[in-house]
């Protein structure tokens, strides 16, 4: 997040903020959205994957910027239905009620990865556009998805043939390289396999027009990432090579847009030295917005700052406030010497964070504040 942290902290303090707190920079949302559009040279249509952060201020702001949305359920549809933007559904497996509601509302494009899902769509969203989710490598992605979703190219062609026979309209293909992907070759594999499916379908009289390369675009947590420009350039080259640019290119970024926009403030409520280590306890928790720390067992590469302190004097194990033994935010983190009352800022927490938040163990749900230019507002 490109903000003056001391200035922001001073303003938060003046507003008597309490921790834990999420601060969301709408300026950063705009920067990331425009950076993505520019990297793909205006060639791609962008559908924000709202599961990464369905905050209503973010959704409304993105709609104002001209962004469309990728939704998973009828519940997510409810978050964006009034915003006047296009929506697609790229969840390969959906409940029947969500299919019915989305189709009635006007969602026309649906993904699948089994013939059974095709048959379900034919019954409950007759005449809709469909695209198979192909299975591609998720190598070098922090969170792999290939074991849960995806189908082989030959199976996809067969399923599209069945879809056409059932009155559905084959539209294209989609794939996902895994979340926070650091291997550009994964996108090449997906585009190359998509081209094979296009060719095989054409031979069956099925014309496809969309290549949806999903999301997975990484952000800079600890400098071990690939810039979006280094992904977009070869992707555009491969689209030209395999399709002669004769396709619609769709993107579904989530983390890339919302991740850098978030900062999580939490306060140290206790420190313990002994048993061969240093331990810090904060009023935040993996259960109130830092779920990825739980998923990665305290090893998620967040960047951290102790406000008003510098240096790295000790290695701390940082625990959340709950009584759950898995509430470990950091297994080992070099920090200045901590004391109760210190405020810790955790950066890059705009994605897959407060959407996961709960009141487990009676914990406080974090406040949410928004920054736009010099204006600081609070969620009502």
* Domain boundary assignment for the chain: 5-22+261-378, 26-258
Task: Identify the pLDDT of residue 146.
Answer: 63
> CA-to-CA distance for 41 and 318, rounded, in angstroms?
43
Selection from 129-143, 158-172, 246-260 with the highest mean pLDDT = 158-172
352 Rama class: left (phi>0) / alpha (psi -120 to 50) / beta? left
Q: Say how far apart CA 61 and CA 65 lie, in whole Å.
A: 6
Give 102's contacts (C-beta < 8 A, 6+ positions apart): 71, 74, 77, 87, 89, 110, 125
Looking at every residue in the chain, the average pLDDT score rounds to: 90
Inform me whether the pLDDT recorded for 101 exceeds 90: yes
Is the dihedral angle over the CA atoms 94, 95, 100, 101 positive or is it negative? negative
Average pLDDT over residues 283-296: 87
* Crossing angle of helices 184-203 and 153-165, rounded to 10°: 40
Q: How confident is the model at residue 3 (pLDDT cuts 50, 70, 90)?
A: low
User: What is the assigned CATH class of domain 5-22+261-378?
Assistant: mainly beta
Residue 39 has φ and ψ, to the nearest 5°, of -60, -35
Strands 262-274 and 277-282: antiparallel
- The pTM assigned to this predicted structure is 0.93
Confidence (pLDDT) at 341: 94
The structural architecture, per CATH, of the domain 26-258 is Alpha-Beta Barrel (3.20)
* Mean pLDDT to the nearest integer, 186-203: 93
What would the pLDDT profile of 350-359 be if each residue is shown by its tens digit?
988 988 888 9
């Amino acid at each position: 997040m490109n903000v003056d942290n001391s200035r922001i902290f001073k303003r938060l303090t003046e507003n008597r903020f309490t921790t834990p707190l999420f601060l969301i920079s709408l300026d950063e949302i705009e920067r990331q959205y425009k950076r993505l559009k520019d990297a793909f040279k205006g060639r791609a249509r962008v559908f924000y994957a709202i599961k990464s952060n369905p905050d209503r201020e973010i959704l409304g702001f993105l709609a104002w910027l001209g962004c469309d949305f990728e939704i998973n359920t009828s519940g997510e549809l409810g978050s964006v239905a009034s915003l006047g933007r296009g929506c697609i559904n790229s969840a390969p497996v959906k409940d029947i009620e969500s299919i019915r509601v989305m189709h009635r509302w006007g969602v026309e494009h649906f993904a699948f990865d089994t013939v059974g899902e095709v048959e379900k769509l034919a019954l409950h969203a007759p005449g809709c556009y469909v695209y198979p989710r192909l299975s591609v490598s998720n190598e070098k992605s922090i969170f792999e998805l290939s074991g849960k979703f995806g189908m082989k190219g030959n199976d996809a062609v067969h399923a599209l043939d069945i879809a056409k026979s059932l009155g559905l309209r084959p539209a294209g293909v989609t794939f996902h390289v895994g979340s926070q992907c650091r291997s550009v070759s994964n996108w090449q594999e997906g585009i190359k396999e998509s081209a094979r499916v296009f060719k095989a379908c054409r031979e069956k009289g099925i014309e496809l027009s969309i290549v949806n390369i999903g999301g997975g675009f990484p952000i800079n947590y600890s400098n071990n990432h690939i810039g979006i420009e280094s992904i977009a350039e070869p992707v555009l080259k491969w689209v030209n090579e395999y399709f002669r640019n004769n396709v619609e290119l769709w993107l579904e970024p989530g983390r890339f847009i919302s991740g850098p926009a978030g900062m999580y403030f939490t306060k140290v409520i206790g420190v313990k030295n002994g048993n061969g280590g240093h331990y810090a306890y904060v009023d935040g928790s993996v259960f109130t917005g830092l779920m990825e720390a739980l998923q990665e067992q305290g090893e998620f590469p967040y960047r951290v700052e102790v406000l008003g302190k510098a240096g790295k004097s000790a290695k701390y194990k940082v625990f959340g406030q709950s009584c759950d033994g898995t509430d470990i935010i950091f297994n080992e983190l070099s920090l200045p010497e901590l004391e109760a009352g210190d405020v810790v800022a955790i950066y890059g927490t705009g994605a897959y964070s407060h959407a996961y938040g709960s009141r487990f163990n009676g914990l406080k749900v974090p406040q949410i504040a928004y920054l736009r230019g010099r204006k600081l507002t609070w969620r009502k």
